[in-house]
């Protein structure tokens, strides 16, 4: 028997005390008690997103907040730029199309990052773009983008920078205000150590000028509706109030640990896995590997669709395979949230054992030892 260990890039494991909070009796949301919870969660998320702007809590997946960032921002016929470097970049493009924007698709080779220089050139070509949409980490390719550098060049223009921080915020260093990101989108089921079902979004003053002047293209994910109701610590629609209560446990854990320490620990786990992969003769898929999620190329001769299945079914370690054109070609390990060094050793060991089962020549313990060497430095 193996304990189940969740290493997919979302949902990630939820701390026991947060789970227990979800088991508490239901309560009413139109109460001072709930308003206080929402106020606290907003403050916690401001800290985690490193912003002084209001953070809105949406009842929905991360994609709901992505929709809010398009439907509330770009009017029909207005231009937007979608950086497509993977599956989630495509979502920005799909959203723009749905809401009648004039979408400029920028196709970036999967596994590579768009550079600030490329963004600068793009904005010179499209000075009329209302917003540029990108990921902080493109989950499907485990690739991190230089948002600080990109924000610097976007900040010099009239264009807004919208960042999908779903597989970034809480895991990777991120300073919304200091860097000058205009809109940041976060989901609950990643670095925030919560079940899926809540999304968060914050907007700069530059973004609010555009939002206040733009008729919302949707109602459920309308930022104006959320802004109006947050003035009284309320929600425009019945909120997932039990999730808000539970969220405070997880954000409380992040605050207790210290945000920068959480980032550093996430990075150390990523470093350790990368060292393990190297020691095992494996290579990384991404040319700009993220610290929140790692994609390892399935080696020659190993059945890439079988690998994550064997890891899950024989050893209890749930990693994610590749999506779309990467199906069967990579395995992805999350480093986010409620997971520690020894969980990672279990995952590396399961990778070794599954590779062995699938005919890859592996010397057991080599990956584990390489990971340990990195992890020991932090203790």
Binding stretches for its own copies (CB under 8 A):
4, 6, 8, 10-14, 19-20, 22-31, 59-64, 66-67, 71, 94-95, 98-99, 187, 189, 195-197, 216-222, 236-243, 312, 318, 320
Q: Give bridge partners of residue 284 from the DSSP assignment.
A: 296
Closest distance to its own copies from the beta carbon of 22 (Å)? 4
Candidates 9, 7, 6, 5; CA nearest to 190 is 9
State which residue, 97 or 206, has the beta carbon closest to its own copies.
Answer: 97
State which residue, 134 or 372, has the beta carbon closest to its own copies.
Answer: 134
Closest distance to its own copies from the beta carbon of 20 (Å)? 6
- For residue 55, the SS3 value is strand
State which residue, 194 or 302, has the beta carbon closest to its own copies.
Answer: 194
Q: Tell me 28's DSSP state.
A: -
Closest distance to its own copies from the beta carbon of 116 (Å)? 29
Closest distance to its own copies from the beta carbon of 220 (Å)? 4
Closest distance to its own copies from the beta carbon of 76 (Å)? 9
Closest distance to its own copies from the beta carbon of 239 (Å)? 6
State which residue, 67 or 138, has the beta carbon closest to its own copies.
Answer: 67
State which residue, 1 or 28, has the beta carbon closest to its own copies.
Answer: 28
DSSP string, 145-165: --HHHHHHHHTTSSPEEEEE-
State which residue, 280 or 332, has the beta carbon closest to its own copies.
Answer: 332
Nearest 5°: the CA angle 59, 62, 63 is: 100
State which residue, 197 or 299, has the beta carbon closest to its own copies.
Answer: 197
Nearest 5°: the CA angle 219, 191, 222 is: 10
Closest distance to its own copies from the beta carbon of 352 (Å)? 21
Which stretches of 108-234 are assigned E, i.e. beta strand? 129-135, 137-138, 143-144, 160-164, 183-187, 198-203
Listed in sequence order, the residues at least 6 apart from 126 whose beta carbon sits closer than 8 Å to its beta carbon are 79, 81, 104, 159
Candidates 254, 267, 272; CA nearest to 43 is 254
Residues of 174-206 as b/e, b for ≥16 C-beta within 10 angstroms?
A: bebeebbbbbbbbbbbbbbbbbebbbbbbbbee
State which residue, 206 or 318, has the beta carbon closest to its own copies.
Answer: 318
Query: In this structure, what token pair is assigned to residue 229?
Result: 């109701």
Task: Output the CA torsion 300→306→309→311 (10° steps).
Answer: -40
Closest distance to its own copies from the beta carbon of 33 (Å)? 10
């Amino acid at each position: 028997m193996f304990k189940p260990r969740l290493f997919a890039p979302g949902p990630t494991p939820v701390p026991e005390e947060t789970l227990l909070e979800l088991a508490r009796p239901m309560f009413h949301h139109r109460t001072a008690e709930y308003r206080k919870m929402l106020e606290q969660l907003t403050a916690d998320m401001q800290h985690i997103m490193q912003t002084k702007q209001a953070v809105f809590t949406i009842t929905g997946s991360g994609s709901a907040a992505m929709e809010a960032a398009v439907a509330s921002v770009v009017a029909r016929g207005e231009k937007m730029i979608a950086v497509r470097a993977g599956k989630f970049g495509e979502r920005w493009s799909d959203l723009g199309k749905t809401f009648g924007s004039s979408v400029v698709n920028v196709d970036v080779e999967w596994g590579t990052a768009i550079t600030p220089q490329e963004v600068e050139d793009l904005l010179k070509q499209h000075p009329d773009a209302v917003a540029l949409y990108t990921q902080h980490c493109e989950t499907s390719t485990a690739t991190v983008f230089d948002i600080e550098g990109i924000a610097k060049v976007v900040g010099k223009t009239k264009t807004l920078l919208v960042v999908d921080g779903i597989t970034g915020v809480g895991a990777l260093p991120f300073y919304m205000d200091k860097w000058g990101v205009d809109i940041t989108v976060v989901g609950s089921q990643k670095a925030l150590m919560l079940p899926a079902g809540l999304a968060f979004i914050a907007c700069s003053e530059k973004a609010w000028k555009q939002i206040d002047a733009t008729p919302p293209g949707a109602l459920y994910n309308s930022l104006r509706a959320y802004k109006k109701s947050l003035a009284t610590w309320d929600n425009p629609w019945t909120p997932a109030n039990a999730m808000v209560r539970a969220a405070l446990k997880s954000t409380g854990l992040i605050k207790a640990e210290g945000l920068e320490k959480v980032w550093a620990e996430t990075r150390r786990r990523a470093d350790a896995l990368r060292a393990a992969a190297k020691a095992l003769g494996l290579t990384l898929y991404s040319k700009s590997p993220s610290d929140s999620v790692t994609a390892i190329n399935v080696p020659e001769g190993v059945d890439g669709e079988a690998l994550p299945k064997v890891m899950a079914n024989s050893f209890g370690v749930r990693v994610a395979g590749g999506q779309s054109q990467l199906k069967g070609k990579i395995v992805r390990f999350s480093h986010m949230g409620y997971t520690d060094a020894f969980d990672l050793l279990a995952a590396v060991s399961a990778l070794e054992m599954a590779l062995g089962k699938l005919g890859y020549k592996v010397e057991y313990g080599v990956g584990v030892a390489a990971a340990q060497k990195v992890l020991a430095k932090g203790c």
